Structure 1
Amino acid sequence: MKESIFKTYGGIFEKGLLEEITNTAKIIAFKEGDALINIGQYIKSMPLLIDGVIKIMREDFDAGELLLYFLEKGDTCSMTLSCCIGEKKSEIKAIAETDGLVAMLPIQKMEEWLSRYHSWRSFVFQSYNNRFQELLNTIDSIAFMKMDERLYSYLLEKSKLSNSKTIEKTHQEIANELNSSRVVISRLLKVLEKEGKILLSRNSIQLLN
């Protein structure tokens, strides 16, 4: 496991910090679909994603779910950082999009390293900036993009994350992540297929462009 941390974060953190991370982190393997963080849960450790993809979702019991952003290898979650520092309950949930590995760091170490390691401070601040920009992109897409544009943008992002032209998702799963209905998503996917942008199969979608 130590080698995987050095491989993922070796170009980001200095050796001393990497050694401390490997000595204090709890390495957790997860499977696709696993719930890693739930709404209302107290966050007592900070995640460093070693491998895999995690989706961060916002949930409302009346309005359903909304995909906020994805975390990839080498990322952390700014909302989790805020909950750790403020000792607040989580307002998001994190679901494994793929199999992967995550290093969970104690809150005490997270705060201690801010004053001791420049690379850690830079990483934390850059993570806040990256997640904030992704949240702005999500807000912009809801406010200014039509649902068909949001859907196609979503498919492109999924293809990029998986490095594959085939997206293995049901229409209902896509509807949940875009806070829409299965009927609307199915109709729009048919439109995209007629436009020659995708090819629909059972529980999968192939991008053609």
Structure 2
Amino acid sequence: MLENLQKHYGFLFEEALLQEITDVATFKEIQANDTIIDIGSYITSIPLLLSGAIKILREDKEGDDLVLYYIERGDTCAMTLSCCMGETKSQIKAVAETDTELLMIPKQKMSEWLSKYKSWQEFILYSYHSRLQEFIEAIDTIAFLNMDQRLFKYLKDKAFVNQNEVINVTHQQIANDLHTSRVVVSRLLKALEKQHKIALNRNQIKVLEL
């Protein structure tokens, strides 16, 4: 585990902190589409991603999801940090976008390391800042972009975190993530294909403009 940590976090954390993480963290392998954190659950650990990507979603009163942002290798989730510090229930859902490897760190270590390691303090502050920027971008996307622009941004973001211009996804899955209808998604995808921005295949979309 230490070697894997050094590979992905060695440039961020000092050796003493890397060793502490190795001593207390639990390694987990998550399959794509599995739920890692659900709304209403208590969070007892902080995730550090070693590989893969996780999408963070918000749920409305009807139980429909809306994708807020993604976290990738080398990231953690600000919402889990907030819930750990406040000992509150999660207000977001975390779902594996791809097969993912991560380390779960006990929440009591978060505050301990904040005063003990400057690198950890900087990492946490940077994570909060990054997630805040992504929240603002998500709000701007919903408030100011037309649905076709939101859809194309969604496809580009998904291709980026999957590190593959070909996305395996159904129209209904996209509709669920964007909180709209499958009919609307299908119509807009055909329009994007006519603009040569994407190429459509069965349950597969190739993003031509990244």
TM-score by length of 2: 0.97
Matches of 1:15 and 1:63, distance apart in 2? 44
In the TM superposition, what whole-angstrom CA distance separates every residue of 1:85-142 from its partner, at most 9, and x where no partner exists? 0000000010001112111111111110000100000000000000000000000000
Aligned to 2:107: 107
Aligned to 1:36: 36
Residue 7 of structure 1 aligns to which amino acid in structure 2? K
Percent of residue pairs identical:
54
Residue 45 of structure 1 aligns to which amino acid in structure 2? S
**Structure 1 residues 89-104: aligned runs within 5 Å:** 89-104=89-104
Aligned to 2:165: 165
Matches of 2:181 and 2:72, distance apart in 1? 27
Residue 10 of structure 2 aligns to which amino acid in structure 1? G
Deviates more, 1:193-202 or 1:57-66: 57-66
Aligned to 2:142: 142
SS class of match (1:104): strand
1:46 aligns with 2:54: no
Matches of 1:165 and 1:108, distance apart in 2? 40
Matches of 1:47 and 1:123, distance apart in 2? 13
Matches of 1:57 and 1:133, distance apart in 2? 16
Q: What is the aligned length?
A: 209
Aligned to 1:3: 3
Gaps of at least 5 residues in structure 1 are none
Kindly report the root-mean-square deviation, in angstroms, between the aligned alpha carbons of the 2 structures: 0.9
Deviates more, 1:199-208 or 1:75-84: 199-208
Q: Is the CA contact (8 Å cut-off) linking 2:2 and 2:18 kept in structure 1?
A: no
